[in-house]
């Protein structure tokens, strides 16, 4: 028999040092936590932030710590609500995204735990790669399957206990707006070379040891973890056209669109099934398109938790109704039955 549990999963709040987003995610999140999470009782409660919760990317260790503190100080109601959840026994989970990859630094993760749950820091957990609940769900931000933001050696910092951290590679084309085109091209070329080298290291015995350690932390078969780490791969020959297309679209004020589950979601689900580790739900963010769908050749269902910011790219109700905030809910009954799916929360209580 399973312990009854309820999961709330959301992503892409992009909380920064200001709250000038028109949807004000830093103001509505406390209402969600107090209205939906804290009133629940009688079961394990989990809130998972599936990446890009904070705007931390590109900062060195000391600056990341200071920026995290500044962001939470700028959103005191959010900080208070998260602390209230932790104090009530709610487990808080933070999956790293490409905008808050610095959470993978042990010092930054420890600071987050200390700020949100000073009395019981273990109430806050950070996942540099993905979160796994056996038989129930896998949640990852999704950027590791995206050439512009993939970080092949994502585990090296978190598991080795160092604050050395590689940052997303091809996103370098947009990280140097003040430099010349030649300088930006050089940065992209160096990033491509570094990523190709990192991909080779991911397939070496030394990284297999890190994957084995992560498999124990995730309660997941070690061979399955190794295969998941190799599902996607950075290749310059295919990544550069993707980067060029996005540069052209960005210059024209347009974005890449799509309303189907990414192919990587199906590959993850089928890999887990092949190793006897199938899950009911695969949940990700990153695309800013809230979506629930079936996965091809898999019983696993896919949910993308969209965004709570204004950069909505899907066709769901959050596109037309700026007061509709997407999230996923997964319920595990005492008899092991699993239910849930994509939901939309509105501060006014409407459906």
With respect to residue 153, please indicate whether it lies within any of the assigned structural domains. Answer: yes
pLDDT (0 to 100) of residue 62: 76
**pTM for this prediction:** 0.90
Specify burial of residue 137 (Cβ count, 10 A radius: 0-12, 13-18, 19+). Answer: buried
Whichever domain contains 106, its CATH number is: 3.60.21.10
Range of the domain at 146: 5-166+260-345
Tally of residues, the chain: 351
With respect to residue 213, please indicate whether it lies within any of the assigned structural domains. Answer: no
With respect to residue 223, please indicate whether it lies within any of the assigned structural domains. Answer: no
Task: Please give the sequence-ordered ranges of beta strands (E in DSSP) within the chain, or none if there are none.
Answer: 5-10, 44-50, 91-95, 124-127, 130-133, 137-140, 281-284, 291-295, 298-304, 325-332, 338-345
Q: Report the C-alpha gap between 89 and 83 in whole angstroms.
A: 10
pLDDT (0 to 100) of residue 196: 86
Domain tally, the chain:
1
pLDDT (0 to 100) of residue 170: 57
Q: Report the C-alpha gap between 84 and 33 in whole angstroms.
A: 9
With respect to residue 179, please indicate whether it lies within any of the assigned structural domains. Answer: no
Q: Report the C-alpha gap between 230 and 169 in whole angstroms.
A: 17
pLDDT by residue, tens only, the chain of 351 residues: 457 999 999 999 999 998 889 999 999 999 999 999 999 877 899 999 999 999 987 666 678 899 999 999 999 999 999 999 999 999 999 999 989 988 988 889 999 999 999 999 999 999 999 999 999 999 999 998 887 788 888 887 655 555 555 555 555 555 545 566 677 677 777 778 888 888 888 888 989 999 999 999 999 999 999 999 999 887 777 766 666 666 555 656 666 556 677 889 999 999 999 999 999 999 999 999 999 999 989 999 999 999 999 999 988 999 999 899 999 999 999 899 999 999 999 998 765
With respect to residue 91, please indicate whether it lies within any of the assigned structural domains. Answer: yes
With respect to residue 88, please indicate whether it lies within any of the assigned structural domains. Answer: yes
With respect to residue 144, please indicate whether it lies within any of the assigned structural domains. Answer: yes
pLDDT (0 to 100) of residue 1: 42
Angstrom CA distances, 81 to 21, 26, 84, 110, 324, stand at 20, 11, 5, 19, 20
With respect to residue 84, please indicate whether it lies within any of the assigned structural domains. Answer: yes
């Amino acid at each position: 028999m399973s312990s009854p549990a309820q999961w709330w999963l959301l992503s892409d709040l992009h909380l920064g040092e200001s709250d000038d987003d028109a949807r004000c995610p830093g103001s509505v999140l406390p209402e969600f936590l107090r209205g939906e999470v804290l009133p629940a009782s009688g079961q394990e409660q989990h809130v998972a932030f599936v990446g890009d919760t904070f705007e931390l990317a590109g900062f060195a260790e000391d600056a990341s710590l200071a920026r995290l503190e500044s962001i939470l100080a700028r959103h005191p109601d959010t900080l208070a609500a998260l602390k209230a959840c932790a104090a009530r026994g709610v487990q808080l989970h933070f999956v790293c995204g490409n905008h808050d990859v610095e959470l993978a630094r042990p010092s930054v993760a420890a600071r987050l735990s200390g700020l949100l749950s000073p009395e019981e820091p273990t109430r806050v957990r950070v996942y540099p790669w993905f979160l796994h609940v056996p038989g129930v769900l896998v949640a990852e931000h999704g950027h590791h399957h995206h050439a512009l933001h993939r970080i092949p050696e994502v585990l090296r910092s978190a598991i080795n206990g160092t604050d050395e951290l590689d940052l997303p590679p091809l996103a370098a084309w947009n990280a140097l707006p003040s430099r010349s085109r030649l300088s930006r091209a050089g940065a992209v070329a160096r990033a491509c070379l570094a990523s190709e080298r990192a991909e080779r290291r991911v397939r070496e015995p030394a990284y297999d040891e890190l994957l084995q350690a992560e498999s124990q932390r995730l309660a997941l078969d070690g061979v399955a973890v190794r295969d998941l780490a190799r599902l996607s791969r950075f290749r310059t020959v295919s990544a550069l056209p993707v980067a060029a297309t996005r540069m052209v679209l960005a210059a024209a004020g347009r974005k890449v669109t799509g309303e189907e589950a990414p192919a990587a979601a199906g590959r993850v689900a089928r890999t887990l099934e092949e190793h006897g580790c199938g899950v009911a739900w695969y949940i990700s963010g990153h695309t800013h398109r809230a979506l629930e769908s079936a996965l091809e050749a898999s019983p696993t269902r896919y949910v993308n938790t969209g965004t709570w910011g204004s950069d909505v790219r899907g066709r769901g109700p959050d596109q037309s109704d700026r007061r509709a905030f997407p999230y996923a809910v997964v319920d595990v009954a005492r008899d092991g039955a699993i239910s849930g799916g994509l939901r939309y929360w509105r501060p006014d209580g409407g459906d």
